Structure 1
Amino acid sequence: MTTTGTTLVIGATGTTGSRTAAQLAAAGHRVKAASRRATPVPGAEPVAFDWYDPATHAAALDEADRVYLIPPVGDADPAAIMLPFLRQARTAGVHRAVLLSSSAIPEGSPTVGIVHQALPDQFQQWAVLRPSWFMQNFTGTHAHAVSIREEGALWTAAGGGRVGFVDVEDIAAVAVHALTDAHAPNTDLVLTGPETLSYDDIATTITQVTGRPVRHHRLPYEQMRDRLAAQLPLEFASMLAGMDRAIAEGAENRTTDTVQRLTGRPAGTFRALLERESE
C-alpha cells in the first residue's frame, strides 16, 4: 500500500465515511474530512463541503489526488450534481475515485447507477462499492434501529427474503484498500457479510443477544411505502419500499468473498456486531 497522496472523504461524518476517514488516518494517510460543517474528525483535516453548494468544491479538492464519494442522501437524481463535480475533480488532479453505491443498484440504473456508469470514463483508477444492507441499520440512528428501541419491532415489505447484511467496518476496510492499494480495483465490488439472514432472523438474533424482544412485522408494499412516505419524499419512499419487495423476491439472497479477498480477513457476522456493541 502507498502512504503518499491525500484522500478527500466526502460525507466524513456519516456511516461509512467516518469509518473510512478514521481507518485511513490510523494507517498514516493524509485525509481531508469533508462535511457540511467541517466537523473535526480525529487524525484528519476538516473541510466544508456541500453537494448543493459548488462554492465549497474547489477548496475541498485542493491537493487531493483521490476521493471517496458518498452521494447526496435522498436525492433521486444524484448524477445531476455529481457528474459536474467528477469532471472538476479530474481537472483538479484527482486520479482515483471510489464511489459508494448499493448491491441493489446495478450500473446504469437510475440514481447512483448513472454515476457508476460514468466513473470509468472520468478516471483511469476507480472502484464502485456495492454493499448489501448495513448491519448498523439495526443499531444506529436508522429508522429500523429507532423502531427496535422504541417499539420492539421491525417493519418491512421484505417478507421472508434473505439479505447478506454487511458490517460497515468491513465496507470501510474495503474502501481503504480501494483508495490506497498500489493497483485500483477498476471494477464494481459487491460486499456482503458471510451469511444471508431474513428480517425474522435479525429480530431473533437481537432478542437472543440483547434480551430485548423484537418482532418483524411483514407489510405489503403499499403499506410500507406509505409508512416511509410519512418521513421521506414519496419518490424516495417508493424506491425504498420497492427494494424491500425485491428482497422478498430473492434479489439480495447472496454472499460474496470480496471482504476477505481484499482485506485478508473474514467478513463479520451480525451476532458478532451485536456482541461487540453490547460490551
Structure 2
Amino acid sequence: MTAESRPATATGTTLVTGATGTTGGRTARQLIAAGRRVRAASRGAARIPGAEPVRFDWYRPDTYGDALRGTDRLYLVPPVGDPHPAAVMLPFLRQARAAGIRRAVLLSSSAVPAGGPATGEVHQALPGLFDQWAVLRPSWFMQNFTGTHAHARGIREDGLILTAAGTGKVAFVDADDIAAVAVHALTSDPAPNTDLVLTGPQALSHDDIAALLTEITGRLVTHHHLTYEQMRDHLATRIPPEFAAMLAGMDRAIAAGAEDRTTDTVQRLTGRPPHGFRETATRELTQGN
C-alpha cells in the first residue's frame, strides 16, 4: 500500500457542514460506515444515523464554537448561492484553526481555480490556514438531473433541460464518488495537500444526457439551447443576478470546451473506477436513491 492510500491511524472526529446536502450527507454516511466519528452540521441539526447532530449556520458566528467543539477536521460545503462565500467562510476557518482543527477539505468546482471567483478565494487561503488540506474540484454533478436541482425539476415538470452550454461536453460526476474522495482526503495519511479535479468516466453533452434520460425513463427529455443572455436572465428569476451571471458564464465556458476532459482521480484515490452516467441515473431514477 502506498503512502498516498494508507489510512490514518487516528480515528478523529469530522465536522461535516452541509450535512443535509448532496455531498455532505453522502460524506457523513461514508465516514460513519468506515468507523469514523461525525458531527453532522446544518441549520436544522441534521439527523443522520450514527452522527451527532449540531446546529450550524455560516451567517451566524454564534453557532461556530459549538460546531467546532470536539472536532479535529472539517468537510466544508460553501453556503449555497453566495457569490462571495469567503466573507463568511474565512472567519470561520480562522476560528477553526485557533480551536486546533488539523485538517480541512473544501468542496469547490472544476470551473473555479485557486484565486478564482466564489470558492476560489477560500481555496487560495486554505494552505495558509491548515497544514493538512485538500480542495475537491468536481465537475457538474450527475445528481443535477435526478435530485432537486433546477435541471431535475425541469425534466420532471416539462421534459426540458435548459442550458447555454451548446454542444459542449462535461464529464459529469456521481456525488457518491465525490463523497468517496472526500473520505479519502479527510482520513488518508498523509493528507493530499493539493486540489483534486474529479470527473466521471466520459464527457457528455447535454444533448447526450437528454437522450440517455429519455432511454432510461421512457419519457422524452429535450435539451433546449439558450444563449448566454437568455440563460442569465432565466436564472436571475430564481437566484441573485450576480450568481446567475456567473452560472450562465460557466455554461458559456462549457460551450467553448472548458469541461471536455476526464481525470483518473476517483480511480487513483478510491481504487475503483468512477460511476458512469447511465449507471447512476438508472440507480436513482428507477431504483430510488
**Offset from partner CA, 1:162-216 (integer Å, 9 cap, x none):** 0010000000000000001121000000000000000000000001111111000
Aligned to 1:261: 268
190, 195, 205: which one aligns with 1:198: 205
CA distance in 1, matches of 2:281, 2:254: 23
240, 249, 253: which one aligns with 1:246: 253
**Offset from partner CA, 1:132-166 (integer Å, 9 cap, x none):** 00000000000000000000110000000000100
Unaligned runs of 5+ in 2: 1-6
Q: Secondary structure at the match of 1:232?
A: coil
Q: What does 1:1-279 align with in structure 2 at a 5 Å threshold?
A: 1-2=7-8, 3-277=10-284, 278-279=286-287
Kindly indicate whether the alpha-carbon contact (under 8 Å) linking 2:142 and 2:281 is maintained by their aligned counterparts in 1. Answer: no
Q: What is the RMSD computed on CA atoms of the aligned residues?
A: 0.7
CA distance in 2, matches of 1:124, 1:274: 38
Per the TM alignment, residue 226 of structure 1 is displaced from its structure 2 partner at its CA by 0.7
TM-score (norm 1): 0.99
Kindly indicate whether the alpha-carbon contact (under 8 Å) linking 2:113 and 2:120 is maintained by their aligned counterparts in 1. Answer: yes
**Offset from partner CA, 1:103-128 (integer Å, 9 cap, x none):** 00011012110000000000000000
TM-score (norm 2): 0.95
Kindly indicate whether the alpha-carbon contact (under 8 Å) linking 2:79 and 2:85 is maintained by their aligned counterparts in 1. Answer: yes
CA distance in 1, matches of 2:91, 2:102: 16
**Offset from partner CA, 1:211-232 (integer Å, 9 cap, x none):** 1110000000101111111111
Percent of aligned pairs sharing the same letter: 71
CA distance in 1, matches of 2:86, 2:234: 27
Q: Secondary structure at the match of 1:31?
A: strand
Per the TM alignment, residue 42 of structure 1 is displaced from its structure 2 partner at its CA by 1.2
What is the one-letter code of the residue matched to 2:47? Answer: P
CA distance in 2, matches of 1:77, 1:136: 24
CA distance in 2, matches of 1:137, 1:76: 19
Kindly indicate whether the alpha-carbon contact (under 8 Å) linking 2:20 and 2:42 is maintained by their aligned counterparts in 1. Answer: yes
Aligned to 2:4: none
Per the TM alignment, residue 269 of structure 1 is displaced from its structure 2 partner at its CA by 0.3
CA distance in 1, matches of 2:118, 2:210: 30
What is the one-letter code of the residue matched to 1:123? Answer: F
What is the one-letter code of the residue matched to 1:272? Answer: E
Equivalences, count: 279
Unaligned runs of 5+ in 1: none
CA distance in 2, matches of 1:74, 1:136: 17
**Offset from partner CA, 1:41-73 (integer Å, 9 cap, x none):** 111000000000000000000011000001111
